[in-house]
Amino acid sequence: MAFSRRNFLFASALGGASALSSPSLAASVGRLGAELPTGPQYGKGKSMLILGGTRFLGPHLVNAAIAAGWTVTLFNRGRSNPNMFPDLEKLKGDRSDDLSALEGRKWDAVIDTSGYIPRHVKMSAELLADHVSQYVFISTVSVYDDPGGVLLDENSPVGVLEDPTMEEVTGESYGPLKALCEQAAEAAMPGRVTNIRPGLIVGPLDNSGRFTYWPWRVARGGEVLAPGNPDAEIEYIDARDLANFTLHCIHEKTHGVFNANGPGPRVSMQELLHGCKMVLGSDASFTWIPDKELEEYGVGAWIEMPLWIPEAYPHSNANSDKAVAAGLVYRPSGETIRDTFDWEDHVKALGGSLKAEKEAEVLDKWHKRER
């Protein structure tokens, strides 16, 4: 598979979608909800529908909405973490062929966290068009036709499929399909849609290992294999910041397209690693191995070695200035590091990230090479 933002973010999306499904996850969500700060009750007396709601970003959206006073209804197939949020109304159905549970109902706003196929988004948006005021679609920066090495904004060209009717989600089709989903929502509810395009979403409840690996590994201490260029910029957004921005757009009736990447200001790989060391009180030392040697030693980018993209494969950054101007606020990176590490399931959530045995083997090869 070719290196590209689209492929990287597709792999990340798959990781986040396969959320831990267990009573322990439900308990984790309950504790996160209990710790939410109280704030203005913008949603008091209002109702919200969330399509999805029980995987990674979904629970953070639910908690943020409840904290703001919204009455929340979930619509999904009831397969992922069905025991989560026992006090909420849950409607069961299937986006591909059964939306009957939504018929005849009204909500003030809907958040679509589970749309990947344009036909599915078209069906739900058309059905709800006369029954909701605002449709928020959680998209992705993978929508862009990314040439690499440029700064992308909301007006940059999006990817196009040769066959726009295809419904197979792959590394190459993921982004263009999401772009078509955005267009389907806007066509059904013109001027009332908010399309939010996040990049890498991280934080508690993320079991992909794409960020979780680093707090875990640095906290273990000792010699840590650090990838590539220490000054390489990395981008990610805490799921809770994304949830808060999503709710802010609804409270302010903000419509349009917004990149929600981050953090702001951007940090380098070495800043993240040293941040993990300081926040977690680790004795870790970092051995930086260049791209060429890592590839030679068979270390996989992004998934196996989280956040690492070799410089030989330029990728573009997505500018989030528009979202920041509209109210996107980033929490300190140290808070994301600490909360990710404190999440009790983080050790189970390392995905396909680098195993300790392979890390030791690669470090040994590197030191022999140096000698």
State how far the alpha carbon of 4 is from the alpha carbons of 158, 160, 287, 302, 351, in Å.
Answer: 14, 15, 26, 11, 20
Quote the DSSP letter at residue 212.
Answer: T
Binned at pLDDT 50, 70 and 90, residue 18 comes out as very low
User: Is the four-CA dihedral 228, 230, 235, 238 of positive or negative sign?
Assistant: positive
pLDDT value at position 19?
A: 47
Strands (E) in 304-366, as ranges, are: 305-306, 317-318
Nearest one of 316, 333, 359 to 273, comparing CA atoms: 333
Q: What number is the average pLDDT over the span 284-313?
A: 96
pLDDT tens-digit series, residues 205-262: 998 898 999 999 999 999 999 999 999 999 999 999 999 999 999 999 999 999 999 8
Nearest one of 311, 319, 316, 318 to 148, comparing CA atoms: 316
Q: 3-state DSSP call for residue 263?
A: coil
Binned at pLDDT 50, 70 and 90, residue 39 comes out as confident
Nearest one of 134, 255, 110 to 196, comparing CA atoms: 255
Locus of tokens 């919200």: 48
Query: Which residue ranges form the domains of the chain, and what is each CATH number?
Result: 5-364 (3.40.50.720)
| Cα separation, 335 vs 274, whole angstroms | 14
Locus of tokens 């190459």: 172
Length of the chain: 371
96: left (phi over 0), alpha (psi -120 to 50) or beta: alpha
pLDDT tens-digit series, residues 141-156: 999 998 888 899 999 9
| Cα separation, 367 vs 170, whole angstroms | 39
Mean per-residue pLDDT over the chain, rounded: 91
pLDDT tens-digit series, residues 62-87: 999 999 999 999 999 999 899 999 99
Helices (H) and strands (E) in the chain, counts: 12, 17
pLDDT tens-digit series, residues 333-345: 999 999 999 998 8
What type of residue is 292? K
pLDDT reading at 347 higher than 60: yes
pLDDT value at position 26?
A: 58
Residue 277: both structure tokens together: 């060391």
User: Is the four-CA dihedral 227, 230, 231, 235 of positive or negative sign?
Assistant: positive
Selected residue with higher pLDDT from 43 and 22: 43
pLDDT value at position 218?
A: 98
Residue 175: both structure tokens together: 């982004």
Residue 128 phi, psi dihedral angles, 5° rounding: -90, -5
Residue 238: both structure tokens together: 């805490």
